[in-house]
Amino acid sequence: MNQFSLNDRENYHEKPKNDIFADAITRTQQPIVTGTSVLAFKYKDGIMLAADTLASYGSLARFTNIQRLYPVGDFTIIAASGDISDFQYVQHLLDTVMVEEYYTNDGHVLRTQNIYEYLSRVMYGRRSRFNPLWNSYVVGGYNDGEKFLGYVDLLGTTYQSSTIATGFGGYLAQPILRKAVEGREDTLTETEAIEIMNSCMKVLYYRDARSFNKFQRAKITAEGVEISGPYKAETQWDFAEGLRGYGP
């Protein structure tokens, strides 16, 4: 009976030697396991964000307990739409940066603006190498009494605003946020902010086929970062029984 040597075992799964693509450089052509919308806005005490916990494999609701709100340091949160594996890669990058910052111990800390600029350079650099990270990010933070909310996408495009929504949220929730929040950023209470966020998450669950009625909320204030949940929105589906093709 033939026995594999150690070298044979190590090379057993290699590509055939006559494969013309064996040394080819490959790129991710499209996201595979993805998360949908992220919502964020400013209110009186700081920044509030929300994202559901679903990661879809195509149209399959595959993973239902994925956290897409990620704390970076004591006063910053990043939230991601798009490819989950690319989001995990960015989490690793940011963890490495924060560990280096900790061991430097020079009396300075990375502010939200610094993390935002770093992330924008990472995204633009990957895009420039034709190997983008397939994500849209919302970066929120609170530093020295100043609220910060910014957006970065896979092209390295950036902007800052008092309300931000990614994915289908940009079409379905953003008009609600603009009407409810803009002009009230310094007077909106936390209770009112939660009501607005819950209302938007309910609309997304009704209208976005890749959304999920299980979401987390996060707030960033002078006290720091707090991620809570998961929560469920109050929904009503009785009206659907009257739709042709829905019921028996």
pLDDT band at 28 (very low <50, low <70, confident <90, very high): confident
pLDDT band at 16 (very low <50, low <70, confident <90, very high): low
Condensed to tens digits (0 to 9), the pLDDT of residues 145-190 reads 899 999 999 999 999 999 999 999 999 999 999 999 998 888 999 9
| 189 in Cβ contact with 13 (< 8 Å) | no
| Percentage of the chain modeled with pLDDT above 70 | 87
Domain 33-229 fold: Glutamine Phosphoribosylpyrophosphate, subunit 1, domain 1 (3.60.20)
Best-predicted range by mean pLDDT among 17-26, 43-52, 239-248? 43-52
| Set 26, 28, 34, 76: catalytic member | 28
pLDDT band at 12 (very low <50, low <70, confident <90, very high): very low
Query: Virtual CA dihedral for 91, 94, 100, 106, nearest 10 degrees?
Result: -140
Q: What span, in angstroms and rounded, lies between the C-alpha atoms of 136 and 154?
A: 6
Q: How far is CA 84 from CA 63, 64, 91, 138, 151, in A?
A: 11, 13, 10, 15, 17
Q: Give the contacts of 51 (CB within 8 A, at least 6 positions apart).
A: 35, 37, 38, 39, 68, 69, 79, 80, 81, 215, 216
CA angle 108-109-110, nearest 5°?
130
Q: What is the pLDDT of residue 21?
A: 61
Q: What span, in angstroms and rounded, lies between the C-alpha atoms of 174 and 109?
A: 32
pLDDT band at 9 (very low <50, low <70, confident <90, very high): very low
Q: Which of 39-48, 87-96, 236-245 has the lowest mean pLDDT?
A: 236-245
- Of 30 and 89, the structure prediction assigns the larger pLDDT to 89
Condensed to tens digits (0 to 9), the pLDDT of residues 98-148 reads 888 888 777 778 889 999 999 999 999 999 988 899 999 999 999 888 999
Is 28 in the active site?
yes
Q: What is the pLDDT of residue 1?
A: 47
Q: What is the pLDDT of residue 4?
A: 46
User: Does residue 5 have a pLDDT over 60?
Assistant: no
Q: What is the pLDDT of residue 127?
A: 93
Q: What span, in angstroms and rounded, lies between the C-alpha atoms of 40 and 112?
A: 15
Six token digits for residue 128: 């420039």
Six token digits for residue 221: 């204030």
- Of 5 and 210, the structure prediction assigns the larger pLDDT to 210
